[in-house]
Every structure is written in structure tokens, then in C-alpha cells.
Amino acid sequence: AQSVTQLGSHVSVSEGALVLLRCNYSSSVPPYLFWYVQYPNQGLQLLLKYTSAATLVKGINGFEAEFKKSETSFHLTKPSAHMSDAAEYFCAVSDLDGGATNKLIFGTGTLLAVQP
């Protein structure tokens, strides 16, 4: 069965610094992978998704993620953090084993704090 592990429940960076949020997945089939962002008191919004095309995926707000099959990773990065990036970030894998093709398996989330 598919699963997702996010390393680090809390990450703090300085404004202008590199953002790196880690995600490792487990999947018995070629995965579809997603990063979602949740701002306070809001729903989840898609940042980017990997669907077996280019391994480097660019998303909104300057974020990107690289699919590395050999490392089973899909880490999220942004070269320069902005105060507005403070939010919770969720990595997710599309579950095929269960038959419900739109089910997403979510990681436990990483809360990103950006210090001025």
C-alpha cells in the first residue's frame, strides 16, 4: 500500500533563506505525487503535482519539487522564503491499490515558520 512520510513536523527559516521540506513515499506502482499548502483557517490548495512526466515540477508561488525514484523522495523547495509562505504543507500520494483512483494518502504535515 502507498504511504508518505514527511520528515520534520516543524521547520523554521529566515526570510530570504532556502526552504526545503522533505517527503518520502512508498508505492508499489508508479506514483502520482502532490504537495498541498494550508494557510491558517483555510482549506488545502494544490502547490504542484508529479504525474510521471518531467521529474522537476514547478508549482505556484515559486515552489518546485523533484521526483527521485532511486531515493523514493519528492522534496519541496523554494530558493528564497517569504513571510507569506508561512503555512502547513502536506505531501500526498495517489492511492491505486485500494481501487479508489482519486484517494490521496497524506503525510502528517510540516508547519513552516518564516522569521523576519
Partner 1 sequence: EAQVTQNPRYLITVTGKKLTVTCSQNMNHEYMSWYRQDPGLGLRQIYYSMNVEVTDKGDVPEGYKVSRKEKRNFPLILESPSPNQTSLYFCASSFGGRGELFFGEGSRLTVL
Q: How far is the CB of 49 from partner 1 (least distance, A)?
A: 6
Judged by beta carbon, residue 70 or residue 101, the one nearer partner 1 is 101
Cross-strand bridge partners of residue 90: 36
Which amino acid belongs to residue 116?
P
User: Does 63 contact partner 1 by CB under 8 A?
Assistant: no
User: Which of these, 90, 101, 103, lies nearest to 47 by C-alpha position?
Assistant: 90
- Phi then psi for 23, rounded to 5 degrees? -145, 125
Overall residue count recorded for the chain in this entry: 116
Q: How many residues lie near partner 1 (CB under 8 A)?
A: 24
Residue of the chain from 2, 21, 76, 107 that contacts partner 1 (CB under 8 A): 107
Judged by beta carbon, residue 50 or residue 73, the one nearer partner 1 is 50
Residue the block writes with cell 526552504: 19
- Which residues in this chain contact partner 1 in the complex, by CB under 8 A? 9, 32, 34, 36, 41-46, 49, 51, 90, 94, 96, 100-104, 106-109
